[in-house]
Amino acid sequence: MSIIESLNWRYAAKKLNGEKVSDENVSKIIEAARLAPTSSGLQPFEMVVITNQELKEKIHKLSFNQSQVLDCSHLIVFAAWDHYSLDRINHYFDHYETERKLEKGFSDGYKNGVSKHLTALTTEQQFEHAARQVYIAFAFAMAEAAALRVDSSPMEGFLPNELDELLNFKAQGLRSVLLLPVGYRDETNDWQVHLKKVRKHTNHMVHYIK
């Protein structure tokens, strides 16, 4: 099935019906995010998959009571590294060399360049850089969900500092960036279900230089 067809099918569901998404489909949605490209391949983020209702209730309160957080099947929290440490960068390149069966130190030149560039940024800029990678992976996860005909709802509307505290992210060197509740649309109670998708016209967005 075409990805365009799936993207036309999807919408940011505002109310889900509580039906469970299979573990197999949740794994595929997460796998799409794992396979997303990231700057230098560092994958500076983690995902936390929450099904615990008590915890969902607490996050609901930190998300301006947005219903999707409560009625989703799984709530996926996307969290970025709060900074790029040499440890984190070394860990990635060690893994890279092992996976590709390269001689240890093979990527040192490139690694040193990446380290120098990233660690010269302020801590906030480092987090923002990592967060940008999260958005790419997040989009892949939403696209895979749509391809599976699982609904999802992209969400930036929550209190990140409070959520970081609740999930003990600081101790893990993480900061929350986005929420992705997944489930199935509530056809009766979601006012958005039957509304036309609104997008700018292509000729207002794309310019060809020949």
Ligand X SMILES: Cc1cc2nc3c(=O)[nH]c(=O)nc-3n(C[C@H](O)[C@H](O)[C@H](O)COP(=O)(O)O)c2cc1C
Provide the minimum distance between the beta carbon of 115 and ligand X in the complex, in angstroms, as a whole number: 29
Q: Report in angstroms how near the CB of residue 11 gets to ligand X at its nearest.
A: 3
Per CB under 6 A, contacts with ligand X among 39-78 are 66
**CA proximity to 135, closest of 38, 11, 7:** 38
Size of the site for ligand X (CB under 6 A): 9
Q: Is 14 in the site for ligand X (CB under 6 A)?
A: yes
Structure tokens at 51: 């099904």
- By beta-carbon proximity to ligand X, the closer residue of 43 and 66 is 66
Q: Does 11 bind ligand X (CB under 6 A)?
A: yes
Q: Which residue is nearest to ligand X (CB)?
A: 157
Given the complex with ligand X, which of 3 and 12 has the nearer CB atom?
Answer: 12
- Amino acid identity, position 42: L
The nearer residue to ligand X, 115 or 153, going by C-beta atoms, is 153
Which CB, 154 or 183, lies closer to ligand X? 154
Distances 95 to 7, 68, 74, 98, 106 between C-alpha atoms, Å: 34, 37, 30, 5, 12
Instruction: Calculate the alpha carbon distances from 191 to 21, 75, 185, 194 in Å.
Output: 22, 21, 10, 7
> What's the rounded Cα separation, in Å, for the pair 26 and 82?
26
Say if residues 47 and 78 touch (Cβ distance below 8 Å). Answer: yes
Using DSSP bridges, classify how beta strands 45-50 and 74-81 pair: parallel, antiparallel or unpaired. antiparallel
CB of 111 to ligand X, least distance (A): 31
- By rule CB under 6 A, what string of x and - marks binding of each residue 140-169 to ligand X? --------------xxxx------------
Closer Cβ to ligand X, 40 or 153, answer by number? 153
In whole angstroms, how close is the CB of 171 to ligand X at the nearest point? 26
Instruction: Kindly state whether residue 197 participates in binding ligand X, applying the rule CB under 6 A.
Output: yes
CB 132 within 8 A of CB 46: no
* 3 state SS of 15: coil
Q: Which residues lie near ligand X (CB under 6 A)?
A: 11-12, 14, 66, 154-157, 197
